[in-house]
Amino acid sequence: MKKITRRYFNRRLSEGLLGTAVLAHAPLACAMGGKEGQGRSLGIALVGLGSYSTYQLAPALQNTKHCHLAGIVTGSRAKEQVWASKYNIETKNIYNYQNFDTIANNEDIDIVYVVLPNSMHAEFSIRAAKAGKHVICEKPMGISVAECDAIIEACKIAGVKLGMGYRLHSEPYTQEIKRYVKEKTFGEVSYIMAEAAYRSNGNPAQWRLNKALSGGGALVNMGVYSIQSSIYGTGENPVSVTAQEFSTRPDYFKETDETITAQFEFPGGATGSIFTSHNANANSLYASCNKGWFSLKPANNYGPLAGETSRGPIQFPHESQQKLQMDDFASHILYGTENRAPGEMGKRDMIIVEAIYQSIAEGNRKIALDLGKMGLVSESN
């Protein structure tokens, strides 16, 4: 079996984006709605068996109601054996990166969850769609808006559902924040601050520090959470952004951004700021309103989260966010329920990411954003 290398990542990404032929395979699990999906559990194949699949997704899939772990895709023989034994995965449901396209013939697999380095998201999301499988793509959706467009188009042509791995949209604290905003529980939001950061001390050769594989640094990794928080915490998409970048460890962060701050303006008059870093620990959301305030701290880790408002604490029992997220997406396919994090949301966030990088490159210039028509700020949209 060929081992996945950096060169292979980039070559296959290019091939995946340039290829336009659509395999003649209909989705194995259609959006059925109503009673037709009653009692069904959709099979998920995890593509990439790194730490997130190993310690979060696979364990969560042992407790999901509408989906289950049915297959794996990996470049490691050793992982094949470990996972097959641990999760009782049949040999016919184990794939590598070269024979992946034959998954089209496997009726056990309904959904492909792409959990690979960012530069491979587009390739394998597109290949999964061409194979007639519904797609969950981890964040960021791609390493450019063009890649996001390619994924969305491939899923549209293939007639499959596309969801982002935005777990927070399915957990109760985030949903409560959305409710506050929608119902104006604390009045109009005037200012919002969102932070998402951790200090990286790991292997300097890790893929997250390699721009060819990651597409960026803290912003595309943790900054997406800050962007998301500022949007669902105001109920609006920003209309402009101004950004700054800081680096205090250039010997470690040689290719990728270490720390970024940005300021948003929103159409309703609110302003906001985000902070993201691979060199500091931060995890919070705070909104000041004309009739009070609300906050989450922590706001974006795997939980349990915690919240406070000007009227008292926010309290919900903890459940696996990944379990809730994957069940929500499976329910969307089976019963036609809402897709809480569609592909268009991933594209919107990448538009903002690119604008932030543009602002930095152009001397911290304010960049106008035209996202009003995209909606996607709450379940009500």
Our answer to whether residue 357 is catalytic in this structure is no
Which amino acid makes up residue 143? I
Answer yes or no: 225 catalytic: yes
Write down the catalytic residue from 139, 178, 211, 347: 139
Three-state secondary structure call for residue 361: helix
CA dihedral (267, 273, 277, 281) in degrees, to 10, reads -130
Q: Which residues of 238-252 are buried (b: 16+ CB within 10 A; e: fewer)?
A: bebbbbebeeeeeeb
- Active-site choice (97, 173, 225, 232): 225
| Closest by CA position to 115, among listed 272, 325, 381 | 325
What Cα–Cα distance (Å) separates residue 211 from each residue in 205, 206, 218, 256, 346?
11, 10, 11, 6, 19
Phi, psi of 263 (to 5 degrees): -120, 135
Locate tokens 């009692």: which residue?
39
Q: Which amino acid is at 281?
A: N
Q: Which residues are marked as active site? A: 139, 225
